[in-house]
Amino acid sequence: MTPPVVRATRYVAPLREGGSLPALVEAEDDGLYVCKFRGAGQGPRALVAELVAGGVGRALGLPVPDLVVLDVAPELGAAEPDPEIQDLLRASVGLNAGMDFLPGALAFDPAGGEPVDPSFAADVVWFDALTTNVDRTVRNPNLLVWHGRTWLIDHGAALYLHHSPGDLVARARRPFPALRDHVLLPAAAPLAEADARLAPRLHRTALEGVLAGVPDAWLEDRGGPEARRAEYVDYLCARLEGPRGWVDEAEEARGGR
């Protein structure tokens, strides 16, 4: 499903985690969203990762909160007393990434929380390996517990290879050693089982649908929006081609725990 575009109507509060300067924002549909701003230090590629990885997660049936594209008007920051927030909002006029706010959600506790279902853990590890998400660690799980489920949030660090120059698709089959630090790896069932469940749910048409929801304004480099969309689709399709060495890599890391 293509994320809807909704107009941001009020900057509610900053969320001072990490370097992306996210914030809680109210929108015209009366929803509250965690907004990642285009004007933050990571730039638009972090927003691309947010929508692409999050969209892939939702296509797989994983619990990723609803995604939207938030349209920030110039006047949104006019009443903000904090100069840093004013500067951020001025630099982010236009389209930004939003994720549904989960009120009352608790941070996932890998040490003292409820045991994680092994099949669910394996699915999350598989998903993060596919999207090369380096930011689901014990130190920063990016998981929330809400209404009895564990939800996956904050995918701006996924697809990390798109931050470096060169042919993205040519690097699609590279190993992903960061997976050894995945917070759910010790709890995961065999990764081959997750692979059998999840891989059939993704195909080129589904991935093209995910990329269709990424705004043109975030894809203006490296040949323009359509070329960039095709590059991301080709990259993910290349990672999905068999044999998937990253599945064996993940299983080896799981077995070494």
Helix (H) and strand (E) counts for the chain?
A: 7, 8
Distance between CA atoms of residues 117 and 123, nearest Å: 10
What b-and-e string marks burial along 126-153, b requiring 16 or more CB atoms within 10 Å of the CB? bbbbbbbbbbbbeeebbbbbeeeebbbb
Beta carbons within 8 Å of 77's beta carbon, 6+ residues apart = 11, 85, 86, 88, 89, 90
Q: Which of 61, 64, 194, 53 has the alpha carbon at shortest distance from 118?
A: 194
Altogether, the residues listed in the chain come to a count of 257
For residue 19, the model assigns a pLDDT of: 62
pLDDT, averaged across the chain? 93
Structural tokens at position 131 = 């999207």
Looking at 6-20, 154-168, 220-234, which range is the least confident one?
Answer: 6-20
Residue 246 CB coordination number (10 Å): 22
For residues 220 and 207, which has the higher predicted lDDT (pLDDT)? 207
144 to 6, 73, 99, 196: CA distances (angstroms):
24, 30, 13, 26
| Exposed/middle/buried for residue 166 (C-beta within 10 Å: 0-12, 13-18, 19+) | exposed
Structural tokens at position 89 = 């909002």
Kindly state the average pLDDT of the residues 140-158.
96
For residue 13, the model assigns a pLDDT of: 93
Kindly state the average pLDDT of the residues 135-154.
96
- DSSP reduced 3-state for 52: helix
What confidence tens digit (pLDDT) does each residue in 41-91 have?
888 999 999 999 999 999 999 999 999 999 999 999 887 888 989 999 999
Kindly state the average pLDDT of the residues 22-47.
94
Distance between CA atoms of residues 212 and 210, nearest Å: 5
Query: H-helix or E-strand containing 55?
Result: helix 44-59
Residue percentage of the chain with pLDDT more than 70: 97
What confidence tens digit (pLDDT) does each residue in 81-123 have?
889 899 999 999 999 999 999 999 999 998 877 789 999 999 9
